[in-house]
Structure 1
Amino acid sequence: MLFSPAQKDAFTLAAVCIAALMFGLEISSVPAILPTLEAELQSNFSDLQWIMNAYTIACTMVLMAIGTLADRYGRKRVFMISLVLFGITSLSCGLAPDNDVLIASRFLQGMAAGAMLICQVAVLSHRFQSAAARGKAFSAWGIVFGIGLGFGPIIGAGIVAVSSWEWVFLVHAPIAVLALLLVIAGVEESKDPQRRRLDVLGITSLSLAVLGLSWFLTQGAVTGFGTREALFSLLAAVLSFAVFVGSQRRGSDAMFDFSVLRIRRFSGALIGAAAMNFSFWPFMIYLPLYFQNSLGYSSVGTGLALLAYTLPTLVVPPFGERLALRFRAERVIPVGLFTIGLGFLLMKWGSSVEQASWLTMLAGCVLAGTGLGLTNTPVTNTTTGSVPSERSGMASGIDISARMISLAVNIALMGFILVQGTLSSLRGSVTGLVDEEQLRVLAQTISAGSVNGVGQGAALAHGFGWVMLYGAMAAWLLMAASLWVFRTASARR
């Protein structure tokens, strides 16, 4: 059956939007079920971190490689393969009998998701050639992506309430089949005639650097940072990153062109992209744990409470884009980051009052989400718009990689801070001869959700206060760095 060009446009856009929806849901819906996983799979705190972080690390590992492979062997072909693999790995996640299988399945699912993400951008860019059509297509894609991220917590919580946690993953299998059929019907094959060589050394070294640092932060918090395994993972991360930088400076087919960092507007926006993943996005992993384990809300109640955190990210971006057009992104991005930091401070205050609840957290959640909405679109437009058009693909790749790497690292880092904050409170409240190792194990158990008594609940709230303070300070420090870079750029004009 032949389809008209308009029908193919619709099928292509629908397929890409469905893939974007699934990608966003698998980031934001899973945090809402972490307390359920802790109870049903007997997951410890390290397991919960890896269930989330395996997905983001795997995404980071394949981003640049898949871009090259899709250019070389066909974007439609690679997109179809990624959809099939995403459906299969989603089934594997839903059927996982234990934590180890679930973590491994999440890693494979993340690789498929990273491939889908890169192919979505390439397919839309090829299908919609005119500026007007491309703008509308990417706008629709961005809205659906935002819906997946924004409504993921309540969707995940709702699925658990009416069925079981397995269906948070299993539901993606039939959706992936639908997207695959739309790709077959609407997407036309396209390739890069230049057929760039795959930068194996760059891909491998960057992947090992991210994995090593995440392993050091996650496992080091459990086994100790001075152990042989922790020090080895840190050394591997440092050496791998050094190899990556060296390979990118010398390679003719390098993934990253570091010379674009000399463009101050690009660098300032890139700092803004990283700042959101030092604060807002990784905390989305831990905020459901706070509402359920510290405040005692149900999964549905948690999902509803999280809407205050996520909905502004859908509503505010058009306003942020208009502000950037009027006052320039160099001003709006730092303002957005300042607003995120202020929201985190308000959340810290809301969590510290005697009768903490979603109401005391409401203002901080809304303000942090508003700051994210102000920041995100100007950051994306500035990273791609501040470099020559022939290098916009490179700039977009660096932007996405910076976001995913900072997200993966900060999921692990916030988990470490949570345990340390809980441990600090326990040191001051636990009486008797309890050694440091026993206290640390207790802090990890409490952080995973096993809270017994008012004292342990207060310790957990104290730990979350540390995480919120970290989010505020990280946003403000990177805001200052971004502002300095932007002002340097203005001074050079």
Structure 2
Amino acid sequence: MPSTTSTAPGAPRAGTSTTPHPRRWLALAVIAISQLMVVLDATIVNIALPQAQADLGISNADRQWVVTAYTLTFGGLLLLGGRIADYWGRKRTFLVGMVGFALASAIGGLATTGGLLFAARALQGAFGALLAPASLALLTVLFTEATERAKAFAVYGAIAGGGSAVGLVLGGVLTEYADWRWCLLVNIPIAAVALFAAIPLVPESRAHGDTRYDVPGAVVVTAGLVSLVYGFTKAAEDGWDATATIAFIAAGVLLLAAFVVIELRSSHPLLPLRILLDRNRGGAYLASTLVGAGLFGAFLFLTFYFQQALQYTPLEAGLASLPVTAGVLVSAGVASQLLPRVGAKPLMVAGAVLAAAGMLTLTQIDLDTSFVSHLLPAQVVLGLGLGFTFVPLSSLALVGVPEHDAGAASATLNATQQIGGSLGTALLNTFFTSSVAAYLATRIPDPASQAQAAIHGYTVAFAWGAGLILLAGLATLLLIKVRKEDLATGGAVHMG
């Protein structure tokens, strides 16, 4: 799926050598391969999920864990991963992240139960939280000249944008002509190539100074988010008023409140709260969370709709999902040109309205909906809206941020999108399951009714997704006050 591209959580510190590394372009190729692997994993698994669910006997209530187990650990540990890369060594962290990601992919590809697949996805997220910030930090160290750095980040950003499209097609090919398991196992040869190339080509670097980590903060925030998502899952199974549902949601809220207390008292907080308290950045993070919540869940149900309702093959489903990515790439280019002229707020509000309109169009689906006349334009409009949203978000996250907070500010933006996606996927899956059950409760449960019940569930999920994206637009309208002049001269360098 599309994602924002941001600066490294570990930008080079004062005293870092500015002499260009002689093999920096070869190192860029290695880092690009690792980025492609991480980006592929977001979309390639979506296409495989219907077959994985059937093969492993995963329930409708639990299937969202294939997505959320990854995004929760990735988003929850991303800031800690950036700190580890800075102080433990960026190359060392990169290599460990690569090996761990490949091993977790092997476990997932060979999983015999849903629980083992969920655990493997969580491990992938944890190692991805090491790999992603280490990759970005290495780029900032390798490319010290402004023009070269811009080119390097353009390559990185192109992979971040285009890799999701590659994942959709590759996921379809592997699932249809090999097995869904290869959507995970394919990471092993990719990681092996990158690993053996990285050892001689990528230089080691690390930050100096105090190297303490906020491990309690990372553990508590991740546990809180997992508890919330599990509470949403229990709501799908037992109802919102069930004791277990209330207990897990309450525990999640309490743990997140404890995380705030830990950050306020920590001398080296995982997330300096001063970053959140700025009105514009706070608004950007809230909008990012809400857009992620609406978007991740929508992609999950679009995949199931294509393959289960319209009977598309996995490859056809992957190709049918490409219009969203195409829309994002087109509007992101336009938004980059318009941002200095009109500012962030108009683009983000327009983007939210467009994306929500595309999502609302998807609520009009049925068992025989035309792809060309309905699904194609709906996805293009959704993608156009997302592109107009993502580009300003990346800039807003860094407006007026002191240099020493730039990495944390941009990593927080990525984390909010992943966390929003986790919560949104779980929430929308709960609404889907509940609405299907309610639909069938008043009808004879024959095959025709069950097919229509699934359609009803998809439309409910898409409607809630549209609502979350509109809420992101409303948050932008009320909270974002930054002027276009501030974006051009913000206090931090934006690379994305």
Same fold (TM over 0.5): yes
Q: Deviations along 1:434-469, whole A, 9 cap, x unmatched?
A: xxxxxxxxxxxxxxxxxx622211111111111111
Shift of residue 302, structure 1, vs aligned partner: 1.0
Coordinate RMSD, CA, aligned:
2.0
Match of 2:368 among 349, 355, 358: 355
**In the alignment, structure 1 residue 173 sits paired with structure 2 residue 188:** yes
Shift of residue 263, structure 1, vs aligned partner: 2.5
**In the alignment, structure 1 residue 477 sits paired with structure 2 residue 471:** yes
> Which amino acid is the alignment partner of residue 459 of structure 1?
A
Deviates more, 1:225-234 or 1:285-294: 225-234
Q: 1:419 aligns to what? A: 433
Note if contact 1:28-1:152 (Cα within 8 Å) is conserved in structure 2.
yes
Q: 1:138 aligns to what? A: 153
Aligned length: 466
**2:289, 2:337 → 1: CA distance?**
22
Shift of residue 269, structure 1, vs aligned partner: 2.3
Q: 2:489 aligns to what? A: none
Shift of residue 80, structure 1, vs aligned partner: 0.4
SS in 1 for 2:61: helix
Q: 1:438 aligns to what? A: none
Q: 1:257 aligns to what? A: 272
Note if contact 1:10-1:186 (Cα within 8 Å) is conserved in structure 2.
no
Shift of residue 324, structure 1, vs aligned partner: 0.9
Q: Decide whether aligned partners of structure 1 residues 218 and 357 sit closer, same or farther in structure 2, where only a CA change above 3 A counts.
A: farther
> Which amino acid is the alignment partner of residue 455 of structure 1?
S
Deviates more, 1:159-168 or 1:217-226: 217-226
Match of 1:237 among 232, 236, 252: 252
Shift of residue 5, structure 1, vs aligned partner: 5.9
**2:300, 2:31 → 1: CA distance?**
25
**1:33, 1:357 → 2: CA distance?**
23
TM alignment of 1:10-159, pairs within 5 A = 10-159=25-174
Match of 1:365 among 366, 379, 393: 379
> Which amino acid is the alignment partner of residue 357 of structure 2?
L
**More helix as a share of residues:** 1
**2:227, 2:216 → 1: CA distance?**
16
TM-score between the two structures when normalised by the length of structure 2: 0.89
Shift of residue 428, structure 1, vs aligned partner: 3.5
Shift of residue 6, structure 1, vs aligned partner: 6.5
**1:253, 1:48 → 2: CA distance?**
37
**1:19, 1:218 → 2: CA distance?**
32
> Which amino acid is the alignment partner of residue 235 of structure 1?
A
TM-score between the two structures when normalised by the length of structure 1: 0.90
Note if contact 2:356-2:382 (Cα within 8 Å) is conserved in structure 1.
yes
SS in 1 for 2:398: helix
Q: Decide whether aligned partners of structure 1 residues 430 and 419 sit closer, same or farther in structure 2, where only a CA change above 3 A counts.
A: same
**1:266, 1:61 → 2: CA distance?**
19
Q: Deviations along 1:368-399, whole A, 9 cap, x unmatched?
A: 01111111122112212342333211211221
Match of 2:455 among 456, 461, 464: 461
**In the alignment, structure 1 residue 209 sits paired with structure 2 residue 211:** no
Note if contact 1:265-1:330 (Cα within 8 Å) is conserved in structure 2.
no
**1:177, 1:7 → 2: CA distance?**
23
Shift of residue 227, structure 1, vs aligned partner: 3.7
Match of 1:387 among 389, 401, 407: 401
Q: Decide whether aligned partners of structure 1 residues 46 and 421 sit closer, same or farther in structure 2, where only a CA change above 3 A counts.
A: closer
Percent of paired sites with the same residue: 28
Q: Deviations along 1:291-322, whole A, 9 cap, x unmatched?
A: 11122211122111111222222332111111
**In the alignment, structure 1 residue 285 sits paired with structure 2 residue 300:** yes
Q: Decide whether aligned partners of structure 1 residues 149 and 195 sit closer, same or farther in structure 2, where only a CA change above 3 A counts.
A: farther
Higher relative contact order (CA 8 A, sep 6+): 2
> Which amino acid is the alignment partner of residue 453 of structure 1?
P
SS in 2 for 1:254: coil
**1:481, 1:336 → 2: CA distance?**
13
Note if contact 1:347-1:363 (Cα within 8 Å) is conserved in structure 2.
no
Match of 1:486 among 480, 485, 489: 480
> Which amino acid is the alignment partner of residue 358 of structure 1?
F
**1:343, 1:425 → 2: CA distance?**
25
**1:482, 1:51 → 2: CA distance?**
31
Shift of residue 276, structure 1, vs aligned partner: 2.1
Deviates more, 1:260-269 or 1:294-303: 260-269
Note if contact 2:294-2:468 (Cα within 8 Å) is conserved in structure 1.
yes
Note if contact 1:53-1:408 (Cα within 8 Å) is conserved in structure 2.
yes
Note if contact 2:21-2:142 (Cα within 8 Å) is conserved in structure 1.
no
**2:270, 2:53 → 1: CA distance?**
39
Q: 2:341 aligns to what? A: 326
Match of 1:336 among 351, 375, 380: 351
**1:205, 1:152 → 2: CA distance?**
32
Note if contact 1:266-1:382 (Cα within 8 Å) is conserved in structure 2.
yes
Q: Decide whether aligned partners of structure 1 residues 305 and 271 sit closer, same or farther in structure 2, where only a CA change above 3 A counts.
A: same
**1:331, 1:386 → 2: CA distance?**
20
Q: Deviations along 1:35-80, whole A, 9 cap, x unmatched?
A: 1112222222134211221111121232122222221110110110
> Which amino acid is the alignment partner of residue 198 of structure 1?
Y
> Which amino acid is the alignment partner of residue 206 of structure 2?
K
Note if contact 2:296-2:424 (Cα within 8 Å) is conserved in structure 1.
no
Shift of residue 7, structure 1, vs aligned partner: 5.6
Q: Decide whether aligned partners of structure 1 residues 288 and 249 sit closer, same or farther in structure 2, where only a CA change above 3 A counts.
A: same
> Which amino acid is the alignment partner of residue 472 of structure 1?
A
**1:384, 1:12 → 2: CA distance?**
27
**1:173, 1:355 → 2: CA distance?**
39
Shift of residue 420, structure 1, vs aligned partner: 2.0
Shift of residue 170, structure 1, vs aligned partner: 1.0
Q: Deviations along 1:107-142, whole A, 9 cap, x unmatched?
A: 111211121111111111111112222221111111
SS in 2 for 1:385: coil
Structure 1 runs not aligned, ≥5 long? 432-451
Note if contact 1:89-1:109 (Cα within 8 Å) is conserved in structure 2.
yes
SS in 2 for 1:364: helix
Q: 1:442 aligns to what? A: none
